[in-house]
Amino acid sequence: MSQGNSTRSSEATKAPGSRISPDSIMLIRNLELRAKTVVQGFMSGLHRSPYHGFSVEFTDYRQYAVGDDLRYLDWKLFARRDRYYIKRFEDETNLRCHLLLDLSNSMAYGSIEYNKADYARTVAATLAWFLNHQRDAVGLLTFGDSIEEMIPPRFRTGHLRRIMVALERSTTGKSTDIGQPLEQIAQTVSKRGLVVLISDFLTPVEQLDKNLGYLCSRGHDVILIRVLDPTELDFEFTQPTLFQDVESGREIYVDPKSIKENYQRQFEEHEKSIRERCQDLGVDFFQFRTTDPLDSALFHVLQTRALAGQQVNRANQVKGATR
């Protein structure tokens, strides 16, 4: 079951039925093949879904008004209905998507066969593959305590392969510094686009605040995808033991029974504060366990984009009607 939800759509929709277990997906060693499997499984399920019609490129019609460009007049519809309709497109340019992937040490943590970084790579690869096949430009930026790899968004032959290779060869860094990649994107990318940040967000909320706000102000659509291990959420430890921070190496003695409640409360407060910040900035926020089906991520991202698109279309309709 997906833990992901959006600050815009919250519990609105469920991902379509047939899902492939992430355990099985993760057995596929080739990342591109893994992404393709996820997307294809998602697409096949999509045909059976009552929620058809979701797409980044949704088309719309509105009545012709004097002064409209005749190039967009739908003559076939005029033939059937004997009325003039102007054909409208959702977006007149290709989407430019920046995938920002956190590969700090904390992402290397995993209590099951694969870790958060593996899951996050697969999510990134899935999105990249899907968008590439929609002819959208996709770029990649991996970071830990500094920026490791940066591939600008392109749509050309071999670009997807390049992204896949970069994802496969990337290793985890040390600590997490979310501020730096966000700052980098904000400074270098002037054209509006989609920014997808995939991380566990186990950092102080204040680090996110400034740069997210800056990105939003530049007109970017931002999506945060949080990947968490089930143990981080449920804290199912029983024995008192020394807990070592995988990033800093610091050790503290912890009796899980006595602090579990306090841990969960603080964790929820942290999550709540991230959500509140996102809501304030109009940023989509999704949270996934590494046990959640991988296509849920894709589904929720697309769903969110679709809803955003509807809103844009409605805005355009209103705008057209007033002309």
Partner 1 sequence: MSFLALLFGLGALTATLPIIFHLIRRTPKGRTEFSSLMFLSPSPPTLTRRSNIDNILLLLLRVAAIALIAFAFMRPFLRGADSLTGVSVANRRIAILLDTSASMRRTGVWDNATQQVRQILGDLENGDDVSLFTFDEDLAKVVGFADENEIADSQKRSQIEKELSGLDPGWGRSDLGKALVSVADELDIWADATKEKIDGKLAKLQIFVVSDLQKSSKTESLQSYQWPERVCVKFFNANSKQKSNASVQALKPAEDDEQGALRLRVSNSSESEKEQFTVSWFDESGDRIVSPVKFYVVPGNSRVIRMEPEDVVGARRFVLEGDAEEFDNEFFTIPTEQAEMEIVYVGEDRSNDPNFPQFYLRSALVETPTRKFDFRQVKQDDGSILNADLIPSLVVIADPPDPRLESELNQYLNQGGTALFLLDDFEVAESVSQWTLGIPLKSQDQNSPRNDYRMLADIDFKNRIFRPFLDPAFNDFTKIRFWQHQSIDLDENEVSIVARFDNRDPAIWERQIGSGRMIAFASGWQPDQSQLSLSSKFVPMISELVEQGADLPKLSQTLLINDPISLPTKMKTNPAGSNRVMVAPDGTRFLIDDAQENFEETGRPGIYTLETGNSQTLFAVNLSRAETEVDSLPIEQVEVFGVKTGTQQTASEELSQLRDMKDKEIEGQQKLWKWLIMAAMILLIGETWLAGRTANRTLAERAGMAEPG
Residues contacting residue 243 through CB under 8 Å, at least 6 positions apart:
251, 252, 253, 254
Neighbours of 96 (CB within 10 A): 21
Residue 74 beta carbon to partner 1: minimum distance, rounded to whole angstroms: 54
> How many other CB atoms sit within 10 Å of the CB of residue 233?
15
User: Quick check: 244 binds partner 1 (CB under 8 A)?
Assistant: yes
Question: Which residues from 148-167 bind partner 1, rule CB under 8 A?
Answer: none
- Which is nearest to 153 in space by CA: 195, 187, 183? 195
Site for partner 1 in 83-112 (CB under 8 A): 106-107, 109
Verify binding: residue 54, partner 1, rule CB under 8 A. Answer: no
Which position among 66, 79, 242, 318 is part of the footprint of partner 1 (CB under 8 A)? 242
Stretch near partner 1 under the rule CB under 8 A, chosen from 32-40, 44-52, 91-99, 231-239: 231-239
Q: Which is nearer to partner 1, 76 or 250 (CB)?
A: 250
At its nearest, how many Å lie between partner 1 and the CB of residue 143? 17
21 vs 171 by CB, closer to partner 1: 171
**Residues counted in the chain:** 323
Distances (CA, A) of 303 to 34, 286, 309: 21, 12, 10
Q: Is 114 in the site for partner 1 (CB under 8 A)?
A: no
Write out the binding residues for partner 1, residues 253-282 only, by CB under 8 A: 253-255, 258-259, 262-263, 266-267, 270
With respect to partner 1, which residue has the nearer C-beta, 91 or 261? 261
Q: How far is the CB of 290 from partner 1 (least distance, A)?
A: 12
| Of residues 116-135, those binding partner 1 (CB under 8 A) | 116
C-alpha gyration radius of the chain: 21
Residue that is written with structure tokens 């057209």 in the block? 320
Angle of helix 31-47 relative to helix 116-133, nearest 10 degrees, comes to 60
One DSSP character per residue, 123-157 reads HHHHHHHHHHHTT-EEEEEEESSSEEEEEEEE-ST
From the CB of 306, what's the least distance to partner 1, in Å? 33
Contact pattern for partner 1 over residues 168 through 207, marking x by CB under 8 A: --------------------------------x-x-x---
In terms of C-beta density within 10 A (0-12 exposed, 13-18 middle, 19 or more buried), how is residue 106 classed?
A: buried
Which tokens belong to 211? 């740069």
Task: Tell me the CA distances in angstroms from 285 to 155, 230, 280, one per residue in order.
Answer: 26, 18, 12
CB of 272 to partner 1, least distance (A): 13
Using CB under 8 A, count the residues that bind partner 1. 33
251 binds partner 1 (CB under 8 A): yes
Contact flag: residue 252 with partner 1 (CB under 8 A): yes
Closest among 312, 323, 139 to 219, alpha carbons compared:
312
Instruction: State both tokens at 281.
Output: 């900035």
Closer residue to partner 1, CB minimum distance, 73 or 254: 254
The one among 73, 77, 246, 307 contacting partner 1 by CB under 8 A: 246
Identify which of 138, 134, 136 has the alpha carbon closest to the alpha carbon of residue 153: 138
322 CB neighbour count, 10 Å cutoff:
7
Which of 184, 243, 291, 312 touches partner 1 (CB under 8 A)?
243
> Which chain residues interact with partner 1 by CB under 8 A?
106-107, 109, 116, 200, 202, 204, 229, 232, 237, 239-248, 250-255, 258-259, 262-263, 266-267, 270
